[in-house]
Chain A
Amino acid sequence: MSTTLLWYTTRGAGAVSMVLLSGVVVLGILSALRVQTAGWPRFLTTGLHRNLALMTLVFLALHIVTAVIDPFTHLGWLTAVVPFSSYYRTIWLGLGTIAFELLLAIVVTSLIRGFIGHVAWRLVHWLAYASWPIAIIHGIGTGTDTQSAWSIVLTIACVGSVAAAVGYRVLRGSSDPLASARSEFRAGIARRPEQ
């Protein structure tokens, strides 16, 4: 494979990963908020969320492998694993490594959700709100395509849709219909001093 082709693949797979990951985040939020219409059942949201997440990993693998084996950058495999170990664009590549590892933790815990239990799984899943912005900053900071129009449009679209979904979630509050009644009841029976 020629160096140029590798380089284009790295950038292309990176851009696709950004789009997919943003889609995964948006779908995750829609699923937590129980968004549903007659033609769009809830299992479609969660199923798509899951499958797009797995697909994101495939494109990220492509993105990382092509970047590492590209002889021009001499990144080495360590860069893919240890954050900030690259001499080349140290900060920005380091962020990419962190975002990838967070995502890996999220996917792996999801695959073994039945074993680790719902509470632990959910705690790890909140890391999505760290992984996604770090990935976006990595993309912007690394900067090969930052100036090009297609990249700007894509990034704005991704950031915009995730921001809208997050904003919607914050405004809606908990989607568990029992949440407020439950905490009210618990507050009413708060522990009294024992004698």
Chain B
Amino acid sequence: MSNLRLLAGPDLSSGAEAFADHNSRLGASPVGGRELIDTLTRSGMTGRGGASFPVGHKWQSVAASKRSAVVIANGAEGEPQSRKDRLLMTTRPHLVLDGAFLAARTLRAKQVVIYVGDQHQAAWAAMARALAERPEPERSLARMAAAPHRYVAGESSAAVHLVDSGVATPITTPPHPRDRGVAGAPTLVQNVETLAHVALIARYGDAWFRSAGRRGAIGTLLVTLAGAVKRPGVVEVEAGTTIEEALAIAGGISEPSTAVLLGGYFGAWVKASNASELPLDAAALHAQGLSLGCGVVGVHPASRCGVCDTARIMRYLATESSAQCGPCFFGLRALSDACSRVAERGTNREDIARLKRWSVEVQGRGACKHPDGAVIFLRSALNTFSDEFAAHPAHWRQQPA
């Protein structure tokens, strides 16, 4: 595709692009500064970590404080189906680092932390090697930190908590990290893909960023295509590209599909018939009550049981609660148990009623969004697989996806 931006350049299979090659291809990174914040605000870019928070707004909040900031490049990528952050760190580490150091200079940061999931060994190695290639004072400003292999470790307050105390569990917000983060300093926690976009916007400007995008959406984004897809993996598409168009890049679907899990385990099920025309754009999806999340499109094959897969994912999300907040820990466990009972022993009215009641009650009652993500996922399952939930036989048709 001609409109590749983040993934333009040498073949991805050749591994990490060296610092010299990166600079000769794109030119050296600008210095950054106040005007970059305005450029980012005008670009309209939103964060690619899952929450789709406006980037310019976040930088403005951090810059508003008199204290010097901390920058955390978030490459935890705990979402099981997502691959895009890993791919980016493994192949274009200097785009991520450019973005991180642009943020550091713009926000007068005294510390940059490259936060990488400790199970992503290739990404970790590439980032560490890339960091060693950077000149001073960048090199000594930054350090690597390992995100434990848990779902909540990528949550921004959990990243702050890890840097502060070594414990990657979420903390109560407000205050949000952008106001009071690492050691009380305003902290920019930004997904690595977002930082890579920043590196290009700083070079080419906001108008250039806006020149990509379809159906009113702006920019490009990385999407992970998973499940029943001919060539599963990461593609870069223009925002606003439909799911069907994105799947076509990967050779289309590999078998008939009933539903798509959009946004990963934190996202929502959508019936396949409704999904194909959906645009991959955070704002447009939000308007429809959906979420792009971190850009995962999981194609669910008709041969698998939606109820059983929902039960399996609910069990995963329940065990990923960090057991800090009662409604999340007990609520998700009870929901997961009820789901598993329906999957194993068949539909019963009591459990369906419980699923409906609890999935509403639990929402909004955690320090972080973990319980919210889980119950939004579950409610979408009850909608999308309503027929299957209403008459589920006593089977447990599931193997790890």
Q: Touching in the complex, A and B, CB below 8 A? A: yes
- Are A194 and B326 in contact (CB-based, < 8 A)? no
A191 CB contacts on chain B under 8 angstroms: 162, 166-167
Residues of A contacting B168 with CB < 8 Å?
189
Q: Which one of B118, B128, B148, B324 contacts A182 once the chains associate, using CB atoms below 8 Å?
A: B324
The reply on B144 being an interface residue by CB < 8 A is yes
Contact B144 A194, beta carbon cutoff 8 Å: yes
Q: What is the CB-to-nearest-CB distance from A186 to chain B, in angstroms, rounded to a whole number?
A: 6
CA separation between A189 and B324, bound complex, in Å? 14
A177 CB–B CB distance under 8 Å: yes
Partner of A178, one of B150, B153, B323: B323
Q: Are A185 and B322 in contact (CB under 8 A)?
A: yes
Contact with B along A178-195 (1 / 0, CB 8 A): 100110111011111011
**Chain A count of residues within 8 A CB distance of the other chain:** 14
Q: Give complex CA distance A181, B329 in Å.
A: 9
Is the Cβ of B143 less than 8 Å from the Cβ of A194? yes
Which residues 115-154 of B sit at the A interface, judged by CB distance below 8 A? 118, 124, 128, 143-146, 148, 150, 153
Question: Please, how many angstroms separate the alpha-carbon atoms of A182 and B322 in the complex?
Answer: 6
B190 within 8 A of A: no
Q: Which residues of chain B have C-beta atoms less than 8 A from A192's C-beta?
A: 118, 146, 148
Contact with A along B283-324 (1 / 0, CB 8 A): 000000000000000000000000000000000000001111
Q: Most chain-A CB neighbours within 10 Å: which of B124, B162, B167? A: B167
Check: B90 CB closer than 8 A to any chain A CB: no
Chain A, range 145-195, C-beta contacts under 8 Å to B = 177-178, 181-182, 184-186, 188-192, 194-195
- In the assembled complex, the CB of A174 is this many whole angstroms from the nearest CB of chain B, namely 13
Complex alpha-carbon distance, A193 and B169, angstroms: 17
Contacts of A177 in B (CB 8 A): 326, 330
The interface residues of chain B lying within 8 Å CB-to-CB of A184 are: 323
Name the B residues within 8 Å of A188 (CB-CB): 148, 150
Which single member of A181, A182, A189, A194 contacts B153 (CB below 8 Å)?
A: A189
Q: Which residues of A contact B166 (CB under 8 A)?
A: 190-191
> Which positions 164-222 of chain B face chain A at CB distance < 8 Å?
166-169
Which residue of A is nearest B118, CB measured? Answer: A192
CA distance A182 to B168 in the complex (A): 12
A165 to B50, CA, bound (A): 50
Q: How far is the CB of B289 from chain A (nearest CB, A)?
A: 31
**In the complex, what's the smallest C-beta–C-beta distance from B52 to chain A, in angstroms?**
27
Q: Determine how close the nearest CB of chain A comes to the CB of B280; give it in whole angstroms.
A: 32
Closest chain B residue to A186 by CB distance? B167
Residues of B within 8 A of A182 (CB): 322-324
Minimum CB–CB distance for B327 against chain A, Å? 11
Name the residue among A181, A182, A185, A190 with the largest chain B CB count within 10 angstroms. A185
Is B167's CB under 8 angstroms from A189's CB? yes
Closest to A178 in B: B323
Chain A residue with Cβ nearest B333: A181
- Known contacts A178-B329, A195-B128; is-contact A189 B323 (Cβ 8 Å): no
Q: How far does the alpha carbon of A189 sit from the alpha carbon of B168 in the complex, in Å?
A: 7
Among B146, B150, B324, B330, the residue within 8 A (CB) of A194 is: B146
**Residue in B169, B326, B330 whose CB lies within 8 Å of A186:** B169
Residue of B nearest to A177 (CB): B326
The docked-state distance in angstroms from the alpha carbon of A72 to that of B153 is 70
- Residues of chain B lying within 8 A (CB to CB) of residue A181: 323, 329
- Bound-complex Cα distance A185 to B162 (A): 14
Partner of B323 from A185, A190, A194, A195 at Cβ < 8 Å: A185
Q: For A195, give the chain B residue with the smallest CB separation.
A: B144
Q: How far does the alpha carbon of A185 sit from the alpha carbon of B148 in the complex, in Å?
A: 11
Q: Check A194/B145 contact, CB under 8 A, given A181-B329, A185-B322.
A: yes
* Bound CA–CA A190/B321 (angstroms): 16
Q: Which of A178, A189, A194, A195 contacts B169 (CB 8 A)?
A: A189
- Chain A residues near B148 (CB, 8 Å)? 188-189, 192
Residues of chain B within 8 A (CB-CB) of A178 are: 323-324, 326, 329
B150–A189 contact, CB under 8 A? yes
- Which 4 pairs from chain A and chain B are nearest by CB? A191-B166, A181-B323, A189-B148, A182-B323
Can you list 23 A-B pairs with a CB-CB distance of less than 8 A? A177-B326, A178-B324, A178-B329, A181-B323, A182-B322, A182-B323, A182-B324, A184-B323, A185-B169, A185-B322, A188-B148, A188-B150, A189-B148, A189-B167, A189-B168, A190-B166, A192-B146, A192-B148, A194-B143, A194-B145, A194-B146, A195-B124, A195-B146
Q: Chain B residues in contact with chain A, CB under 8 A?
A: 118, 124, 128, 143-146, 148, 150, 153, 162, 166-169, 321-324, 326, 329-330
> 15 more A-B contacts (CB under 8 A) besides A189-B148, A192-B148?
A177-B326, A178-B324, A178-B326, A178-B329, A181-B323, A182-B323, A184-B323, A185-B150, A185-B321, A186-B167, A189-B153, A189-B169, A191-B162, A192-B118, A195-B128
